[in-house]
Amino acid sequence: MNGTLKRAAVACMVMFGLLMINVNYLGAVKAGDYSTDNRNTRSFYKRYSVDRGWITADNGKTTLAKTVDTKDAEFRYEREYPNGRMYAHVLGFFAPESARGVELNENKFLDGSDPDLVVGRLIDFVSKKPPKGASVDLTLIPAAQKVAYDKLRASGKRGAVVALNPKTGAIQVMVSLPTYDPNELAIPDRGDVAAAYNKLAEDDTDPLLNRVTEKTYPPGSTFKVVTAAAFLEADRSRDPETTVPAPQVLDLPDTTAGLPNYGGAACGSGEVTLRFALERSCNTPFGQMGMDLGWDTMREESAKFGIGEPIQFDLPTAGTTIGPEEETAALAQLSIGQRNNQQTPLQMAQVASAIANSGVLMKPNLINKITDPGGSVIEELKPEQLTEALSGEVADELKQMMVSVITNGTGTGAQIPGVTVAGKTGTAEAGDAPAPHAWFIGFAPAEDPQTAICVFIEAGSAGNDATGGGTAAPLARDVMQAVLDSK
Amino acid sequence: MTTAPVAEAPAVPMTAKRRGAQLVMLAFAIVVVMGAYASVGLGINGQIPSGTFTYGLGLAALMFAAYGVLAKWAPWADPLLLPLVTLVNGLGLVIIYRIEQTGQGGASATNQLMWTALGVVMFSATLIVLKDHRALQRLTYTMGFIGLGLLIMPLLPLVGREINGARIWIGVGPFTIQPAEFSKLALVIFFAGYLVAKRDVLALAGRRLLFIDLPRARDLGPVLVTWGLSLGVLILQKDLGSSLLVFGTFIVMLYVATQRTSWVLIGILLFIGGAVLAGQLFDHVQARFEVWLHPEDPEFYERELGGSFQLLQGLFAFGSGGILGTGLGEGFPNLIPLSFSDFIMAVVGEELGLTGLMALLMVYALIVQRGLRTALAARDPFSKLLAGGLSFILAWQVFIIVGGVTRLIPLTGLVTPFMSAGGSALLANWILIALLVRMSDAARRPPPQAIQNEGLTQVFTR
C-alpha cells in the first residue's frame, strides 16, 4: 500500500503547491488591481488611518487645518478646519475620495508618503504606530487674511483679494468670496460629502471657485500700467512727463465706433502728460499707445509680466491672455484691459509686485516651510526670480506715477496716513453684464514695498456704480494696512 | 522463529521519542501565539491587551496538559503534531479575537477558547480510552451507521436547523452542532475498515479499456453508494463542501487500498457527472460557478443571493494585504461577511499578507506530512488506510476551503480546520489529531525485541 500512499502524498503536495502558487498570484500579481478597485473600501479607510500633518500659518502659531484622533477603528483621524470658510480656497479640503487646494498639492508631505519622510514611516511601521505626516506652514498672514475676508464679506460682494510680498513672492492674503465650509466636505461619509459637494457645485454663485487663481476676467484700467510700461520701455527718451494725445473719443480704424473715455468725459486739454493720463485713467491715450506699439510689443511686454500662460504656483491657475491677434481696433481695446484681455487677480497682483520690486518678477509662493513629525524642516521657502519684467528705471517711473494715482487720481480711496501707497484702479466692462468689474492693484510703502495687492470685485455683485476707485481701493487700503501692521 | 539472529528490520528506522524537542516546539508555538495576540492590541489601540499573559498562560496550560497526556499514553507519538496544531489553533484564536474587536457578530474568542479546551479534553480522552486504534476496525459498520446518521441528522425535523441557506446544523439546547464534522471522522474509519476487508475483491481486474484495467461492474456498488450519498448531501442540505469532501476522500482511500488508477478515473467521471447534473438542476450550484468565473462582474457582485460580494471582498482583503500584510489589528476584517468562519484565511491574507499565508499553509502541509508519514510507517493495512485517509481528508478540506476563498476553485463552504470559529469542527479535528497521534505512537514504538540470547531465558514456575 505504500506505493499508492506515496502517490496520495504527492497529490497532497500538489494541492498545497497549487494553493501556495495561487496566494502568491493574489498577493503579488493581482494585489494592485484588488487594492485599487473602487468597491474595495479599504483605500477609503486608509485615508483616515494616517495622522495627517497639520496646516498652519505664521510659523505654526495659527492652525488652519488639524487632525483629530477619534480612536475609531475605521475612521481614526478626521480633518478639521477651525476657520474653514476664511481659508477654504487656499486649504481646499480632504474629502473621502478627493482633495483640493494645499490638501491636494502638498498631500505627499501631509500623509507622509514623500520619500523624504521614508525613515520616519519605517519606524512607525515597525513600532506599529499609525503613520504620521509632515506639517505644512503657509506664508499667509492670518490677521490680514481676516481683515480681507471680513471687509469683503461685509460689502456683500463676490470677489477676490490677494496680497504678496513683492521681494519674495510669499502670498500674504488670499481670499475668494463666496466661500464654503470645507469641514462639510471632510467628514468620512461618502454619501453626505457627495451631496454637500453637488450642492456647492450647482450653486450659481460658484462658491467652490478660487477667484484669485482659477478664473480670468478683463482687467480694465489696471492693465494700463502694462501698456505704460511697454510705452516707456519702447523709447527711453520718454518719461512720465512725456505728452500724449488724449482726444475725447479715439477714432478706431476700420470701424465706425470710437473708443471713449470713461463716462465719455474729456481728458485734460486733449494733450496730456503720461502721468496725468494714468492718474485720471484716460482711455484714449492708452488706446493710441497700444495701436502705436503694435501686437508684438504688447505681447512681449505682457509676457515679461508672466501673462500668456498659467502661473507656476502651489494651487491650480488659469491661463491668462491679452487676446488673439485681430484688427488694430482690438489692440486699442486690449491696451485698456478690455476686449479679449483676460487676467486672474493673482496675475494682476504679479504686475503690481514686479513694479514694486524694481522690475523683478518673483515666483509666487504659498508654502513657508514643511516640518517633519520630528520637528526638522525638510523644505523651506526659497524666493525664486521669474523674469526681469522692466528695467529698474522704468519701474521707478511707473512707481512714481502710481503714487500720483493715489495722491491725485482715481485711487485716493487707498491712501494710508503716513504711508506712501502706489496703485491703479480699474473698472472693466464685463461682456454683456450690466455692471462692471472693479479692480485695484497696488503696493505699499512705495519707498520700500512690503506688500503688493490685487483686489477684484466681480461684476453683477456690487451694484451698477462699482468702480475701482470707489469700491476696490478702500478694501485694498485696509488689507495693506493690516499687512504692514503685522510686521 | 526465535532462532533468527536479528529481528526483522523495521519499516522505518528506529526513532527516538524526542520529548524534549516537542516541549521546546510547543513552547515556541505558544510564544508565537502570545506575540500575535499582543500584536493585535498594539495594532488596534497601541496597547498590549491586558489578557495577553493570562490568556497565554491559559493556552499554555491547556497544551501542556495535552502534552502530559500524550507523554503518558502515547509516548512514542510524532513530536511535531501537537506543536503544529497548537500553533494553528492558537493563531485561529488570535484572528477570531481580532475579528471580535471589530464588533462583527458571531466572532467570540472566549467561546473559541472554551471549545479549544473541550477539544483538548476530547484529544486526551481519545488517547486515554483508545489504547489501540485497531479496536476501531471491529467497529467498521457501527462507524458507517454513525457517520451516515450524523450526516442525515440535520434533515430531521425538530433538531435540524437551516442557517445561511445550508441545512447542516442540529440544535442541542442553546448550541448548534455541525454533525458533518464528526460524520467525516466516522466515515473515514468506516471506509478504512471496509476497504481493508474488501480491497482484494475491489482490486480484481475486469475488462481492459485502452491501457486501464476497469474494475468488475458488480464491484461498482460501494462507489455508486458513496456517490449517491454525496449527491444527497448536496441536494438536500445544499452543502457542496461536505459533499465534495466525503466523495473525494473515499475515492482516494479506494485508490490507496486497491492500487487501481481506474477507480480514480471513475471517481473523477462520477464527480464531473454529478457536478454537471447539479449545475443543471440547482441554481445555487450554477451561481457558484458563475461567481467563480466572473467575481468582478457588477451583475454578480450586486446579486443579493449567491452573488460574488463575499468572494470579492475576500479577494480585496488578499489584495490589500499584499506581501507583508497590514499587520495584525490593522486590516478591515469586518468588511468580509463571515470572516470568522469560512473566510478566516482572507483575514490572515490581509493582516499577515502573503508571508503569513505561506507560513500557515506550510504548517498545514507539515501536519498532513506527519500524518502521511505515520501512514507509511504503520504496520498493518487498517492503520495505513486510516492514517492516510485522515491525513488526506485534512489536506483536502484545507484545499477546498482555501482554494475556494482564494478563487483557485469554486467556493464551497467548509470550515478552515483549527482556525474557523465553530465548536464542532474544533472537537472533531482534535479527535482526528488524537487518532493520528495514537497511530504514530503505534508506528514509532519499537517492536518487541526478539530475545537474542536464549541462554538467559528464565522460566518461572510457581
DSSP A217-267: B--GGGGHHHHHHHHHHH-TT--TT-EEE--SEEE-TTSS-EEEPGGG---
What pairing do the DSSP bridges indicate for beta strands A271-273 and A99-100? unpaired
Mean pLDDT of chain A: 89
Helix (H), strand (E) at residue A484: helix A473-486
Residues of B with Cβ-Cβ distance to A5 under 8 angstroms? 256, 372, 375-376, 384, 388
The residue extents of the domains of chain A are 220-367+385-486
Distance CA A233, CA B343 (A): 76
Helix (H), strand (E) at residue A172: strand A171-177
Say if B68 is an interface residue toward chain A (CB within 8 Å): no
pLDDT higher at B176 or A361: A361
Say if A70 is an interface residue toward chain B (CB within 8 Å): no
Say if B323 is an interface residue toward chain A (CB within 8 Å): yes
Residues of B with Cβ-Cβ distance to A129 under 8 angstroms? 46
Q: Cβ(A227)–Cβ(A300) under 8 Å?
A: no
The C-alpha angle with vertex B412 and arms to B354 and B321, in degrees rounded to 5, equals 20
Distance CA A407, CA A87 (A): 33
Residues A128, B327: C-beta atoms closer than 8 Å: yes
Residue B6 confidence (pLDDT) above 50: no
DSSP letter at A129?
P
Residue B165 confidence (pLDDT) above 80: no
Strand partners, A51: A132
Work out the number of other CB atoms within 10 angstroms of the CB of residue A251. Answer: 15
Q: Say whether A387 sits in a helix, a strand or coil.
A: strand
Residues of B with Cβ-Cβ distance to A45 under 8 angstroms? 332
Residues A12, B368: C-beta atoms closer than 8 Å: yes
User: Which of B316, B318, B395 is facing A37, going by the closest CB pair?
Assistant: B316
Say if B56 is an interface residue toward chain A (CB within 8 Å): no
Residues A5, B375: C-beta atoms closer than 8 Å: yes
User: Which of B46, B354, B403 is facing A28, going by the closest CB pair?
Assistant: B354
Residues of A with Cβ-Cβ distance to B406 under 8 angstroms? 19, 22-23, 26
The C-alpha angle with vertex A165 and arms to A162 and A170, in degrees rounded to 5, equals 80
Extract the C-alpha cell encoding B43. Answer: 495594532
Residues of A with Cβ-Cβ distance to B391 under 8 angstroms? 12
CB interface of A with B, residues 35-64, below 8 Å: 35, 37, 39-43, 45, 49
What pairing do the DSSP bridges indicate for beta strands A377-380 and A367-371? antiparallel
Residue B226: the pLDDT is 80
Distance CA B398, CA B361 (A): 9
Residue A352 confidence (pLDDT) above 50: yes
Distance CA A188, CA B294 (A): 31
Q: Cβ(A15)–Cβ(B396) under 8 Å?
A: yes
Residue A354: the pLDDT is 95
Furthest-apart CA atoms within chain A: distance in Å: 122
Nearest CA in chain A to B368: A12
First to last CA, chain A: 94
Residue A401: the pLDDT is 93
Extract the C-alpha cell encoding A418. Answer: 503716513
Distance CA A22, CA B433 (A): 27
Distance CA B16, CA B7 (A): 19
pLDDT higher at B222 or A259: A259
Chain A: give the shortest CA distance to residue B372, in Å: 7
Backbone angles phi, psi at B123, to 5 degrees: -55, -50
Say if B376 is an interface residue toward chain A (CB within 8 Å): yes
Distance CA A430, CA A433 (A): 6
Distance CA A170, CA A486 (A): 15
Residues A28, B320: C-beta atoms closer than 8 Å: no
* Cβ-based contacts under 8 A for chains A and B: 151
User: Which of A19, A33, A34 is facing B402, going by the closest CB pair?
Assistant: A19
pLDDT tens for B407-419 read 999 888 888 999 9
Say if A2 is an interface residue toward chain B (CB within 8 Å): yes
Residue B438 identity (one-letter amino acid): R
Distance CA A206, CA A197 (A): 11
Q: Which residues of B13-48 are buried (b: 16+ CB within 10 A; e: fewer)?
A: eebeebeeebbebbbebbebbbebbbbbbbbbeeee
Residues of A with Cβ-Cβ distance to B49 under 8 angstroms? none
Chain A: give the shortest CA distance to residue B318, in Å: 6
Residue A44: the pLDDT is 77
Which CATH number is A220-367+385-486 given? Answer: 3.40.710.10
Relative orientation angle of helices B381-405 and B179-202, to the nearest 10 degrees: 130
Extract the C-alpha cell encoding B198. Answer: 474488501
Which band of pLDDT confidence, cut at 50, 70 and 90, is reported for residue B449? low
First to last CA, chain B: 27
Residue B212 confidence (pLDDT) above 80: no
Chain A: give the shortest CA distance to residue B321, in Å: 7
Say if A237 is an interface residue toward chain B (CB within 8 Å): no
User: Which of B255, B316, B354 is facing A23, going by the closest CB pair?
Assistant: B354
Nearest CA in chain A to B363: A16
Nearest alpha carbon to residue A90 among A270, A313, A251: A313
pLDDT tens for B319-337 read 888 888 888 888 888 888 8
The interface predicted TM-score (ipTM) is: 0.90
CA atoms within 13 A on the CB side of B68: 8
Extract the C-alpha cell encoding B368. Answer: 498532513
Which band of pLDDT confidence, cut at 50, 70 and 90, is reported for residue B3? very low
- Give the active site residues of A: 221
User: Which of A9, A19, A128 is facing B42, going by the closest CB pair?
Assistant: A128
User: Which of A18, A24, A32 is facing B354, going by the closest CB pair?
Assistant: A24
Say if A126 is an interface residue toward chain B (CB within 8 Å): no
Work out the number of other CB atoms within 10 angstroms of the CB of residue A191. Answer: 8
Chain B: give the shortest CA distance to residue A27, in Å: 5
Say if A3 is an interface residue toward chain B (CB within 8 Å): yes
Which band of pLDDT confidence, cut at 50, 70 and 90, is reported for residue B462? low
Distance CA A97, CA A103 (A): 12
Distance CA A163, CA A481 (A): 11
Residue A465: the pLDDT is 63
Chain B: give the shortest CA distance to residue A36, in Å: 9
Distance CA B372, CA B12 (A): 13
Nearest CA in chain B to A37: B316
Nearest alpha carbon to residue A165 among A379, A366, A394: A366
Extract the C-alpha cell encoding A14. Answer: 500538489
Chain B: give the shortest CA distance to residue A38, in Å: 10
Work out the number of other CB atoms within 10 angstroms of the CB of residue B453. Answer: 6
Which band of pLDDT confidence, cut at 50, 70 and 90, is reported for residue B455? low
pLDDT tens for A81-108 read 999 999 999 999 998 878 899 999 998 8
Residue B48: the pLDDT is 84
DSSP letter at A184?
G
Residue A461: the pLDDT is 64
Residue B5: the pLDDT is 46
HEC string of B8-63 equals CCCCCCCCCCCHHHHHHHHHHHHHHHHHHHHHHHHHHHCCCCCCHHHHHHHHHHHH
DSSP letter at A269?
T
Residues A27, B407: C-beta atoms closer than 8 Å: no
Q: Is the dihedral of CA B394, B400, B402, B403 positive or negative?
A: positive
Nearest CA in chain B to A50: B330
Residues of B with Cβ-Cβ distance to A132 under 8 angstroms? none
Residues A20, B361: C-beta atoms closer than 8 Å: yes
pLDDT higher at A126 or A70: A70
Percent of chain A at pLDDT above 70? 97
Residues B357, A23: C-beta atoms closer than 8 Å: yes
Q: Cβ(B435)–Cβ(B133) under 8 Å?
A: yes
Give the dihedral of Cα atoms B276, B279, B285, B289; nearest 10 deg: 70
Mean pLDDT of chain B: 85
Chain B: give the shortest CA distance to residue A131, in Å: 12
Residues B320, A128: C-beta atoms closer than 8 Å: no
User: Which of B316, B381, B391 is facing A40, going by the closest CB pair?
Assistant: B316
Residue B15 identity (one-letter amino acid): T
User: Which of A2, A4, A35 is facing B319, going by the closest CB pair?
Assistant: A35
HEC string of chain B equals CCCCCCCCCCCCCCCCCCHHHHHHHHHHHHHHHHHHHHHHHHHHHCCCCCCHHHHHHHHHHHHHHHHHHHHHHCCCCCCCHHHHHHHHHHHHHHHHHHHHHCCCCCCCHHHHHHHHHHHHHHHHHHHHHCCCHHHHHHHHHHHHHHHHHHHHHHHCCCCEEEECCEEEEEEECCEEECHHHHHHHHHHHHHHHHHHHHHHHHCCEEEEECCEEEECHHHHHHHHHHHHHHHHHHHHHCCHHHHHHHHHHHHHHHHHHHCCHHHHHHHHHHHHHHHHHHHHHCHHHHHHHHHHHCCCCHHHHCCCCCCCHHHHHHHHHHHHHCCCCCCCCCCCHHHCCCCCCCCHHHHHHHHCHHHHHHHHHHHHHHHHHHHHHHHHHCCCHHHHHHHHHHHHHHHHHHHHHHHHHCCCCCCCCCCCCCCCCCHHHHHHHHHHHHHHHHHHHHHHCCCCCCCCCHHHCCCCCC
Helix (H), strand (E) at residue A443: strand A437-444
Distance CA A295, CA A301 (A): 10
Say if B296 is an interface residue toward chain A (CB within 8 Å): yes
Residues of B with Cβ-Cβ distance to A23 under 8 angstroms? 318, 349, 354, 357-358, 361, 406
Say if A22 is an interface residue toward chain B (CB within 8 Å): yes
Residues A34, B318: C-beta atoms closer than 8 Å: yes
Q: Cβ(A365)–Cβ(A174) under 8 Å?
A: no
Residue A194 confidence (pLDDT) above 80: yes
pLDDT higher at B43 or B404: B404
Residue B452: the pLDDT is 60
Highest-pLDDT range among A63-77, A248-262, B227-241, B431-445: B431-445
What pairing do the DSSP bridges indicate for beta strands B166-172 and B160-163? antiparallel
Strand partners, B208: B213
Distance CA B180, CA B232 (A): 13
